[in-house]
Amino acid sequence: NVTTLPTICSRSSVPCCLLACRNIVGTAAMSEKVDLPEPALSDAAKALVAQIVAAGDEVRRLKSEKKNIDEALAKLIAAKKAFKTETGKDYVAPGAKKSNSKVAEKKAAK
């Protein structure tokens, strides 16, 4: 007995028919949240990502050599601000761990 009442789809967070999801992607769509791909970046945003990566590498290199990182850090921060201006989103490094918002709120409150 299959119900066809609309419900919120676990794949796309929009109302859909569970039967349709099951037919398209199998039962995994019913129980697992699938991350949707990020929209493609513009050429300017891709160039800023390259600048951010290079500046981050430079900061890490200077830190490992126990040298002054102020200038390199300023470049990294400027590139991240330009990325946010270009895309409207903060830059998040690939593979970065998501922060626990409750922990972040407690730290901000102190």
Q: What pLDDT band is residue 58 in, cutting at 50, 70 and 90?
A: very high
Q: Is 16 helix (H, G, I), strand (E, B) or coil?
A: strand
What pLDDT does residue 106 have?
Answer: 64
Mean of the per-residue pLDDT values of the chain: 74
CA distance 15 to 26: 17
Does pLDDT of 30 surpass 80?
no
Q: 74: which 2 tokens? A: 């300023």
Mean pLDDT of 38-65: 91
CA distance 85 to 78: 11
Contact 25, 37 (CB under 8 A): no
List, for residues 90-107, the tens digit of each pLDDT value. Answer: 998 887 777 666 666 666
Q: Note the pTM of the prediction, 2 decimals.
A: 0.55
